[in-house]
Amino acid sequence: MQNYNEKILGDLRRVAEKNRVANAYLISGGTKEDRLFAGEAFAKLLVTSPADVIRPEQEKASLFSVDDVRRTICDTAYIKPYGTGKKVYLVENASLMNVQAQNALLKTLEEPPEYVVILLLAPNAETFLPTVLSRAVKINLAEEKIPEDNEGTAELLEGLGRVLADGQDMKIEEVIALLQQYRKDQKGTAEAAEIGRRGARDVTEFIRSWFCDVLVVKLGGNESLLRHKEAESAIRDAAERLSPEQIGEILKLAEEARARTEANVSFEFSYETLFLGIARIFEARL
C-alpha cells in the first residue's frame, strides 16, 4: 500500500504545483482509508494554515442533510482563509448527501470563491446528481491515477485570454480554432458530453472572473482585487469601452452558454455564440 500512497501523493503534488487547482473534486474508489489519505494529503498541499482544512460535520450519522450542507459549507464558504493558500472542505461522508443537500451544495459549486476547494469523498460516483458531477474533477483511486487539472483547459483559457485582450478586434475564427483544438486534445479522455461540460465549467468561470475584474476597474476598485493581473492593461482598456450594463450582459451570456452546454448543445457552438456576443458588445457604442 505504501508505494500506491506515494504515487497518489506525487500526482497530487504536481496538480498543486501547477496552480491549476479546480474548485471541486470527487475522490472515489479504494477503501475509506485510501480516500481519506488522498483527501488529507491534497488538502495539506493546498493550505498554508491548518485552520483552513475544514471537516464538515453532520448531525445524524446516516444522513448529510441540507441543513448540514448549508451550515457547514454554504454559509461559511465566503469567509476568506486564515492563510494565503486555499480553504479546503474535506467532506468525508459525501455519499450520505441526499438530493436536497446536493442541490444546496450546487450553488456553491456553481459560483465558488476562488480560494475554496471542496473535496467530496465517496465510495463511488453513483449517488451524485449529474449537475454535481459535472462541476467536480473525478479522481478514481481504483485506477491508481490522480488526473491533473486539465492541461488542455489551461491552454484553451490562455488562448481565450489573448482573444479577450484584443477587445473590439477579437477574431472569432481564433476562438473557433481554440475550441476545436481543445475538443481534439481531449478526445479519448471522456465522453463528448462530459468533455463539453468540463470545458463549459472552466471557460465560464474564466469569463466570469475576467469581466468581474473589468467591473472592479470600472467601479474604481483597488487593483489588488484583480484576479487576472497579467492582463491588467487589457482589462483597463475593456473598462474604458464597456458600461456596467454591458459587462453584466456579458456575464449573463456566459451563464447562458454554460446552460446550453449542460442541455447537451454543442460546446463549440455555445461558446462560439458567446464570443460573437462579446464581440458585438465591444463594438457597440456606449
pLDDT of residue 128 exceeding 70, the answer is yes
Class of domain 2-143: alpha beta
Q: Judging by DSSP bridges, how do beta strands 116-121 and 24-28 pair with one another?
A: parallel
9-21: per-residue pLDDT in tens? 677 777 777 777 8
pTM of the predicted model, to two decimals? 0.55
- In order of 8, 50, 135, the CA distances from 45 in angstroms are 13, 11, 21
- Looking at the structure, give the CATH architecture of the domain made up of residues 151-283: Up-down Bundle (1.20)
Extents of the domains making up the chain: 2-143, 151-283
Grid cell 449529474 is found at 130
Q: What is the pLDDT of residue 7?
A: 63
Lowest mean pLDDT among 43-57, 81-95, 119-133, 186-200: 186-200
Q: 2-143 with 151-283: one CATH topology? A: no
Rounded to whole angstroms, the Cα distance separating 86 from 183 reads 30
Instruction: Give 96-101 contacts, CB < 8 A, sequence gap 24+.
Output: 96/58, 96/62, 96/63, 96/64, 97/64, 97/69, 97/127, 97/128, 98/63, 98/64, 98/65, 98/66, 99/129, 100/65, 100/66, 101/64, 101/65, 101/66, 101/68, 101/69
Kindly report the average pLDDT of the chain as a whole number: 83
Q: Taking residues 89-102, report their average pLDDT.
A: 95
Question: Amino acid identity of 92?
Answer: E
Asked if residue 3 has pLDDT above 50, the reply is no
Specify burial of residue 14 (Cβ count, 10 A radius: 0-12, 13-18, 19+).
middle
